[in-house]
């Protein structure tokens, strides 16, 4: 019976194996580093998206609580109107809730700001009415909360749906009315001049429409201040 011979790895084979193992370890280290960096970047983006979603949910709650607030247009003459101002660049309204405190009413405004690149950002600001009675249009209010809702918008504008003025709205509920009057869309809506409040507000962003509905309570609210309604 012949004697079996054992063959060991040569030095060259060992060095080649070590080089291959080193390359595998280097590749694994690079892949892990890329994974961790990508994870941190995606985690930051995910956190930003979650915070933005939470903010827009709170703002939607505020807009859904918008109501027609009666104020004095002229206190001496006891002339009443509504606290609302809508322009093509944004609007100011009153809500029974605020982002900072759901139990507090607030005056809020949503408007656009143009950036240096020509695009738009949609901004939300509010002034909580904590022990501050809102009675006149020219009151100074503490706008202490500001957030950017959307950024880098190509197109952004506002429109308002409502009655042209108080007289038309009143005529529609009058038994003597013979005209067919209907609310319409406007690019501007001033509650002081029209003595009316819009029934809906549209924020048009990049072809999408954010629609805010407001209860049709203007006549009833005014009736609580005057018998001439």
In a domain, 158, yes or no: yes
Burial class (CB within 10 angstroms; exposed 0-12, middle 13-18, buried 19+) of 40: exposed
Give residue 50's pLDDT. 82
Question: pLDDT tens digits, residue range 44-68?
Answer: 566 777 888 888 899 999 999 999 9
- Pairwise CA distance, residues 59 & 140, whole Å: 22
5 found inside a domain: no
Residue 166: inside a domain, yes or no?
A: yes
116 lies in some domain: yes
Cβ–Cβ < 8 Å for 163, 182: no
- Beta strand 208-213 with 200-205: parallel, antiparallel or unpaired? antiparallel
Give pLDDT, residue 45: 63
CA distance 14 to 2: 29
Count of domains observed in the chain: 1
Per-residue pLDDT, 192: 94
Do 94 and 69 contact (CB within 8 A), yes or no? Answer: yes
Letter string b/e over residues 113-141, b meaning 16 or more CB atoms within 10 A of that residue's CB: eeeeeeebbbbbbbbbbeeeebeebeeee
Residue 21 lies in a domain: no
**E-strand stretches of the chain:** 70-74, 79-82, 85-87, 90-95, 106-114, 120-128, 145-153, 156-162, 184-186, 189-190, 200-205, 208-213
Question: Looking at the domain assignment, is residue 48 inside a domain?
Answer: no
Domain carrying residue 144: 65-223
Interior/surface letters 176-202, b for 16+ CB within 10 angstroms, e for the rest: eeeeeeebeebeebbbbebbbbbbebe
The pLDDT value recorded for residue 228 is: 44
Per-block mean pLDDT, blocks of 10 residues, the chain (229 long) = 60 72 71 67 67 88 95 82 96 96 95 96 95 88 93 96 90 68 94 95 94 87 59
37 located within any domain: no
């Amino acid at each position: 019976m012949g004697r079996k011979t054992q063959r060991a790895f040569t030095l060259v084979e060992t060095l080649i194996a070590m080089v291959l193992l080193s390359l595998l370890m280097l590749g694994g280290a690079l892949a892990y580093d890329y994974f961790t960096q990508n994870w941190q970047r995606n985690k930051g983006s995910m956190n930003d998206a979650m915070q933005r979603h939470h903010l827009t949910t709170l703002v939607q709650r505020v807009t859904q609580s918008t109501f027609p607030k009666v104020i004095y247009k002229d206190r001496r003459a006891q002339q009443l109107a509504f606290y609302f101002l809508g322009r093509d660049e944004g609007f100011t309204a009153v809500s029974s809730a605020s982002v900072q405190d759901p139990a507090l009413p607030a005056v809020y405004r949503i408007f656009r700001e143009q950036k240096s690149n020509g695009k738009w950002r949609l901004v939300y600001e509010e002034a909580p009415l904590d022990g501050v009675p809102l009675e006149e249009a020219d009151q100074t209010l503490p706008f202490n909360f500001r957030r950017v809702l959307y950024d880098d918008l190509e197109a952004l504008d506002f429109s308002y749906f409502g009655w042209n003025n108080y007289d038309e709205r009143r005529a529609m509920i009058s038994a003597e009315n013979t005209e067919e009057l209907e609310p319409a869309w406007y690019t501007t809506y001033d509650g002081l001049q029209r003595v009316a409040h819009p029934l809906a507000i549209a924020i048009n962003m990049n072809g999408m429409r954010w629609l805010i509905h407001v209860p049709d309570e203007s006549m009833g609210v005014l009736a609580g201040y005057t018998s001439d309604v």
